[in-house]
Structure 1
């Protein structure tokens, strides 16, 4: 959920997994050693009455990121006995590591800044980025509930960045047509996950770490009544650890995120994403909960739509520090093809179009700027230089030569870009030029290489607007809820930056509320 902070703002696939896409999902499942339906264990096949339970709760929440913590808070507030498990040793999942900005519609921050927004415009922006493959009804729920959910996070102790006057920051993200994203401060998503976890602790619910979901248990009527969890597993090994059977008297909520770190599974969905493509996610972002869901009858959708974060550096591993520098510069600096020295894209387009444009060049591209043109006075620059991903140059010629680019072409392209900055009109790609943008023409100059990394999985289980998981017949699986990145179909082909925070928190709350009120008779 990395951000694309700035100061300015075809394809068709079937929604459900069929044909070749279905084969892809099944291939991914087989890589994990999941047996076909007829060969599942008795509990997964629907004989949970024979299960000897080791622990018990009303609502079992799987995952401790934005989604899981929001679900647990709401379920507990509704009076349920809640147990929340986390596979890794650290609370917060990817959410705690994310930039954490939140796309909020009709907020008090927009009102203060005079920004006109609407639910329809929010939904339209999501649909355009998602190539209209999105579940529009669920997009609408996110838009409608984004503001009340943001305000709720503050009530729960979360903090958001403020300026010297005590006002919240508002940023326009690539792909959004208006400014609606409320910025996180230093610490990113941990400013939400930390307070949420503390709030739960005050309520008597502590996140149980090093517990991995491996199987969902159903009764003879097809209701999910619990799960098999492995205590203290070795990394992502589903055969390791001690199996524990946890009964969920009301429901199980899947909030385990995506599978970006599951190399075999993701490559089965998109063969381009082999081990040469890095990933921004924490090491626990693998597919075992999705496999368990499908084994229990859940429909999986859009698993081959995997978002790449475009403004990452190939010169560091994982999320690193690049995004905290390069995404801010996207409004102000051009991204150049090394072979031609020319721009390749509107740097403020959505992530899919930006990433695809870089990939089409066949090698990392280069972002070049100068000190006076830096976004936010060079926020993140010092860390980027220290990490060795950004280099300072005395001239544009020196920068071009360093990256093996045609010098004259680079000089010509930056000179042309400077006219766009001066005239506030991008004649080549239509990028909105910020009012405070400066021409790139005074030393020192700075360069950084960009190459996309796996960032967010748009695919997962199919749910309805109440966050109930659906089976292959589009019927509700009783006792099973899911939200956040574990769910497929909401974002279509491409998730807009800062909309994941909205998705996770809005739907996490809905899942928790409904799970606590699940009727079991």
Structure 2
């Protein structure tokens, strides 16, 4: 992978939205989390630097999910003395509990199954989901780099990906994608990548220090980012607690702290609908302290109001739970209906924004109806029984049992059931235009597996704005020297709605780039 990417006219593509973004960034800095901590305001231009640094490294990486671990790997591989800080007690972040699904363009797995794809198709799908608010050139880089990055997970990390009975790597349909391009890790979750990356960093001697919350960034008299304050052993997500330590980064700082989906105060400031009554799939560390500190240090932010709900969650469990991994794998193969009417209301393969908005507007959870023959084998083996054991998925022998259990309007439901089966047979959904996979079968005689679905907060599209070299920009659209960012901590890549399974590409491609770029800097005094 190159250590630098061509900017491809970045300033021209960014200029359209810059004015609104600067207003948003400036306003939100003043209404950051309603907690104590105003004393943590960062002083730019050198005044207020620590009297002494407690620790030093060349590249400091904040966060230990996909993006942070990939950045640390590349920085260390390039010869930089690298350190990772993580505020939670364990590493991995949201990445470790994610599905780990990876949207890969023109992969060997696609070619083996005769699936045609292109960079343009990948970009078009991302832009459609993002309502055209995406940074198109960054989408293009993700598409161009997705295959080599996926190959890197195998060659460098030893990640194993799910295969079919013939030993060929499976490629699965995914909501919002008009081409089948998503690849699923064999063990079924993101630790397939976070664990080997962590092991590699251990082998390379990269310290990963947990229980350290970043609360302040320091820039010297030239404006260069030179270090951070971490609060060690902070209580919960409170930046006013813990013991302050000062870490100097002599080449660069990489912000990879993730999103703020678990931060009710922050997310409800940006979308008042998303208060305490709305559940979230994220781990407890997905809060805004590092992002707020970066803003106080002069970082420009974009798209903070765009917060994604995951439409494949169950209201019958809290948090991420067992539902998403199971439910999401079935959306291409079953139908979801309103139990009040017995009717479908949306394409089950719509992108996350469209699907979630339809469910919320409907007012009650939908029920996903799938029969045993249509559950993908890997999903049946790995996720069905955990979903049943968690009480979110129920088994019924006949369709009449389903109707009785959920008090469905029988005539209307059966008419929908038969219409849907006709669409599957014809490979043409006349109601909602759902892409019907070639291996999908009409819903048969049972047994049936039923799961209630209701959206939860899943991903925050907004964050700091970066250029094509992963450098964080300030309000004048100038790069902040020595400051880089990648993953969900950044904004602009996904626009209004992240296309499912593209986050893995985003975090790994841009994480690797950020680490390489930080390591390429000269050492400061």
Q: Same fold (TM over 0.5)?
A: yes
Which of 408, 413, 420 aligns to 1:410? It is 413
Shifted more, 240-249 versus 180-189: the winner is 180-189
Residue 378 of structure 1: how far off its partner (Å):
3.4
Residues 241-285 of structure 1: CA deviation (Å, up to 9, x unaligned): 110000011111000100010010001111111112111111100
Residue 455 of structure 1: how far off its partner (Å):
0.8
Shifted more, 217-226 versus 394-403: the winner is 394-403
Q: Distance in 2 between matches of 1:44 and 1:240?
A: 23
Residue 117 of structure 1: how far off its partner (Å):
2.0
1:354–1:68 Cα change, 3 Å: same
* Correspondence for 2:494: 491
* Preserved CA contact (<8 Å) 2:25 2:295: no
- Map 1:81-480 to 2 at 5 A: 81-163=81-163, 164-376=165-377, 378-379=380-381, 380-480=383-483
* Preserved CA contact (<8 Å) 1:365 1:450: yes
1:123–1:245 Cα change, 3 Å: same
* Correspondence for 2:517: 514
**Aligned positions, number:** 506
1:69–1:16 Cα change, 3 Å: farther
1:342–1:184 Cα change, 3 Å: same
1:289–1:145 Cα change, 3 Å: same
SS in 2 for 1:217: strand
Residue 171 of structure 1: how far off its partner (Å):
1.8
* Correspondence for 1:8: none
Q: Distance in 2 between matches of 1:156 and 1:212?
A: 30
1:295–1:158 Cα change, 3 Å: farther
Residues 8-53 of structure 1: CA deviation (Å, up to 9, x unaligned): xxxxx95664598558734651524454xxx765645632545321
* Preserved CA contact (<8 Å) 1:91 1:209: yes
* Preserved CA contact (<8 Å) 1:346 1:430: yes
Shifted more, 219-228 versus 116-125: the winner is 116-125
Residue 401 of structure 1: how far off its partner (Å):
3.9
* Preserved CA contact (<8 Å) 2:304 2:460: yes
Q: Distance in 2 between matches of 1:162 and 1:392?
A: 26
SS in 2 for 1:481: strand
SS in 1 for 2:483: strand
* Correspondence for 1:4: none
Residues 151-200 of structure 1: CA deviation (Å, up to 9, x unaligned): 22223324132425443222232222222222211142111111111111
1:15–1:438 Cα change, 3 Å: farther
Q: Distance in 2 between matches of 1:140 and 1:341?
A: 41
Aligned-residue RMSD, C-alpha: 2.1
1:520–1:16 Cα change, 3 Å: farther
* Correspondence for 1:72: 72
Q: Distance in 1 between matches of 2:369 and 2:42?
A: 59
Q: Distance in 2 between matches of 1:370 and 1:489?
A: 39
* Preserved CA contact (<8 Å) 2:348 2:434: yes
Q: Distance in 1 between matches of 2:338 and 2:128?
A: 26
* Correspondence for 1:5: none
Q: Distance in 2 between matches of 1:43 and 1:19?
A: 19
SS in 2 for 1:195: helix
* Preserved CA contact (<8 Å) 1:15 1:302: no
* Preserved CA contact (<8 Å) 1:156 1:196: no
Q: Distance in 2 between matches of 1:487 and 1:113?
A: 34
SS in 2 for 1:378: helix
Q: Can you give the 5+ residue segments of structure 2 that lack an aligned partner in the other structure?
A: 1-15
* Correspondence for 1:9: none
* Preserved CA contact (<8 Å) 1:125 1:177: yes
Q: Distance in 2 between matches of 1:120 and 1:434?
A: 21
* Preserved CA contact (<8 Å) 2:372 2:448: yes
Residue 474 of structure 1: how far off its partner (Å):
0.7
Residue 405 of structure 1: how far off its partner (Å):
3.3
Q: Distance in 2 between matches of 1:59 and 1:435?
A: 48
* Correspondence for 1:501: 504
Q: Distance in 1 between matches of 2:188 and 2:424?
A: 32
Shifted more, 417-426 versus 460-469: the winner is 417-426
Q: Distance in 1 between matches of 2:473 and 2:158?
A: 32
Q: Distance in 2 between matches of 1:151 and 1:371?
A: 33
* Preserved CA contact (<8 Å) 1:58 1:80: yes
Q: How high is the TM-score relative to the length of structure 1? A: 0.92
* Preserved CA contact (<8 Å) 1:397 1:411: no
Shifted more, 48-57 versus 321-330: the winner is 48-57
Q: Distance in 1 between matches of 2:214 and 2:26?
A: 24
Shifted more, 26-35 versus 283-292: the winner is 26-35
Q: Can you give the 5+ residue segments of structure 1 that lack an aligned partner in the other structure?
A: 1-12
SS in 2 for 1:225: strand
Residue 354 of structure 1: how far off its partner (Å):
0.9
